[in-house]
């Protein structure tokens, strides 16, 4: 009787071990495919991250735009523009433009409101400079475009120069332009303000 019990116990242990080995074999067999899928997903996420960072990278690469680039990161541009599929234009104020605002109004006016000021400088369509001029002419001299902040900017021509007029009546001129991954970036000489932010009058640079 004892021998029979030992044989039954041994058989049970053997079958349990055999089943466990089979399970391990199935796990091992599925690992290569699972790892391949994970690797593909990782590469897709990495490429998506590179594309979302491209706007910030292009702007950070210009030493004249370091203050605006800081604002982009504070505003968390990746989470916002990462969801945007269409092209857009970024109108980035120069460091001198920010310095003038800080001298006249203090640092708080921009540092505490990046979620309003930064997206007000990003327009929901994309034109090259020549295309932008033509669109202004097609709009009888005054082209109104929506921004990511929600309010609009009006574009007009002063001779051959493009002038931006913000919601508060402040104007800015385009100084330079360069391409970015999802559109076009323009360097402007004045920080534009949406309505609702208390500001003093910003005078033009000498």
Give the CATH number of the domain where residue 191 resides.
Answer: 2.30.180.10
Q: What is the pLDDT of residue 79?
A: 55
Q: What is the pLDDT of residue 100?
A: 85
- Selected residue with higher pLDDT from 152 and 193: 152
Cα(192)–Cα(97) distance, integer angstroms:
10
Cα(127)–Cα(183) distance, integer angstroms:
8
User: In percent, how much of the chain has pLDDT > 70?
Assistant: 58
Pair of tokens at residue 137: 């002419």
Q: What is the pLDDT of residue 12?
A: 46
* Triad 31, 36, 37: Cα angle to 5°: 100
Q: What is the pLDDT of residue 45?
A: 46
Confidence category of residue 135, pLDDT binned at 50, 70, 90: very high
Cα(114)–Cα(77) distance, integer angstroms:
11
Q: What is the pLDDT of residue 95?
A: 92
Q: What is the pLDDT of residue 202?
A: 43
Mean pLDDT of the chain, nearest integer: 74
> Structurally, how many domains does the chain consist of?
1
Following CA atoms 115, 120, 125, 130 in sequence, which dihedral angle do they give, to the nearest 10 degrees? Answer: -140
From 13-17, 59-63, 90-94, 125-129, the region with the lowest mean pLDDT: 13-17
Confidence category of residue 70, pLDDT binned at 50, 70, 90: confident
Domain that holds residue 51: 1-206
How many of the other CB atoms lie within 10 Å of CB of 111?
13
What's 114-183 look like in SS3?
A: HHHHCHHHEECCCCCHHHHHHHHHHCCCCEEEEECCCCEEEEEEECCEEEEECCCCCEEEEEEEEEECCE
For residue 117, pLDDT over 60 is answered with yes
Confidence category of residue 13, pLDDT binned at 50, 70, 90: very low
For residue 18, pLDDT over 50 is answered with no
H or E element in which residue 19 lies: helix 2-60
For residue 158, pLDDT over 70 is answered with yes
Region 188-202: what's the mean pLDDT?
73
- Facing residues of 188 across strands? 93, 174
For residue 9, pLDDT over 50 is answered with no
Residues 71-88 have pLDDT tens digits of 887 766 555 565 566 789
Cα(130)–Cα(160) distance, integer angstroms:
10
How many of the other CB atoms lie within 10 Å of CB of 95?
16
Region 87-112: what's the mean pLDDT?
79
């Amino acid at each position: 009787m004892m021998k029979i019990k030992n044989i039954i116990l041994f058989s049970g242990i053997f079958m349990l071990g055999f089943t466990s080995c089979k399970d391990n074999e199935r796990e091992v067999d599925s690992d290569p495919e699972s790892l391949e899928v994970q690797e593909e997903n990782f590469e897709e996420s990495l490429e998506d991250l590179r594309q979302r960072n491209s706007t910030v990278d292009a702007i950070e690469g210009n030493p004249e735009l370091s203050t605006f680039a800081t604002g982009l990161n504070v505003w968390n541009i990746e989470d916002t523009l990462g969801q945007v599929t269409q092209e857009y234009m970024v109108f980035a104020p120069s460091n001198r433009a920010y310095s003038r605002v800080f001298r006249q109004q203090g640092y708080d006016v921009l540092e505490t409101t990046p979620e309003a000021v930064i997206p007000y400088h990003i327009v929901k369509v994309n034109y090259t400079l020549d295309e932008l001029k033509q669109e202004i002419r097609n709009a009888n001299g005054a082209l109104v475009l929506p921004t990511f902040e929600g309010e609009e900017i009006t574009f007009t021509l002063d001779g051959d120069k493009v002038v931006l007029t913000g919601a508060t009546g402040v104007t800015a001129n385009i100084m330079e332009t360069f391409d970015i991954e999802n559109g076009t970036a323009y360097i402007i000489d004045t920080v534009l303000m949406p309505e609702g932010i208390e500001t003093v009058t910003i005078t033009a640079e000498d």
